[in-house]
Structure 1
Amino acid sequence: MAFLEKVEETHGLKECLKTGLQALTQQYRRKIRARDSRKINGSIFLEECVNGRWDYIIGYNDKTFFVEIHPVKTSEVENVLDKLFWLRRWKENTPFKDDSNFFWLSTNGVGILKRSSYWKKVHKQGLRIKRTLNLE
């Protein structure tokens, strides 16, 4: 199912869909790079839209990307994993249930070592830590 169809089929999302990356603040838009900006299907500020805990859903070339923009440091791991668990529960009964492109983008550098238990814990949950997200 195409990204826009999933949005249409999910209660409450259609009204929150923005063109391109307009759902993100200007500051956060710089963290997303699209190989071809014409392939951006739209963006949703999920936290505001459904009174949830996860930041954004972005559609690119009919793929779905779930993006949390948050400080990346060890003291935030449990908080962000709680957000991820909320997102997984929310999407269980939506057309997004099989989508699993989860990204934690840093607001200001990455304060977790790649070989640490924190990094492994995050990655074990399918959450990828990045400074920027390249949509391809």
Structure 2
Amino acid sequence: MQNNKKNSGMTKFESAVRNTPDIAAGYKKGIQAFGANSSCVQVDDTRKLEGSVDIDKCTRDIYPDKSRWDYALGYDEKAYFIEVHPASTSDVATMIAKSKWLKEWLKEKAKDLEVLKANDNYYWLATGKIKILPKSRQYRMLMENKILLRSKFKLPLE
């Protein structure tokens, strides 16, 4: 048995997802929850991959009018929160709203998942070209909200 699994055979990430009623049925092995977006995620050591969940899909009917975050990914006993979205200056307010919803949802509804959070950052993976300049006001707003903009997501983080 791998060292990142509990006695039940579940990883910490899988256990956290399954213990969160809003997303309990959404756990997927590997990066399967990313579906068509799975090419955006790369991992060096697939043995450390603990699974994924499409938070947006699982919570769509529960919070239909909210700006929901896309995915959580478990890797090496940590959870990473990833949004796949076009990246232009007009999308920044939407991304900030999504991150605020996620922070509140983790605090109120997904405490087991929140405990596994790898760091204070949220990851925005751009679909297509990034149209936000690093010295722009919008980029600074993302940094203030701990949203890191990337074209790919690779673990371990570089």
The two structures share one fold, judged by TM-score above 0.5: yes
Q: CA RMSD in A?
A: 1.6
Matches within 5 A, 1:109-128: 109-128=129-148
Q: TM-score, normalised by structure 2?
A: 0.80
Q: Which moved more, 1:12-21 or 1:123-132?
A: 12-21
| Aligned residues with identical type, % of pairs | 29
Instruction: For 1:123 and 1:96, locate their aligned partners in 2 and report how far apart those are by CA, in whole Å.
Output: 23
Which stretches of structure 1, 4 residues or more, deviate above 3 A after TM superposition? none
Matches within 5 A, 1:1-136: 2-26=12-36, 28-51=37-60, 52=63, 53-93=68-108, 94-98=111-115, 99=117, 100-136=120-156
Whichever structure has more helix as a proportion of its residues is: 2
- Aligned residue type for 2:112: P
Contact residue 64 and residue 101 of structure 1 kept, 8 A: no
Q: TM-score, normalised by structure 1?
A: 0.92
Cα deviation, residue 117, structure 1: 1.1
Any unmatched runs of 5+ in structure 2?
Answer: 1-10
Any unmatched runs of 5+ in structure 1?
Answer: none
Task: Provide the aligned length of Structure 1 versus Structure 2.
Answer: 135
Whichever structure has more strand as a proportion of its residues is: 1
- Aligned residue type for 1:104: W
Cα offsets for 1:13-39 (capped at 9, x unmatched): 23100110111123x111101011121
Instruction: For 1:101 and 1:64, locate their aligned partners in 2 and report how far apart those are by CA, in whole Å.
Output: 11
Cα offsets for 1:52-77 (capped at 9, x unmatched): 51111110111101110001110000
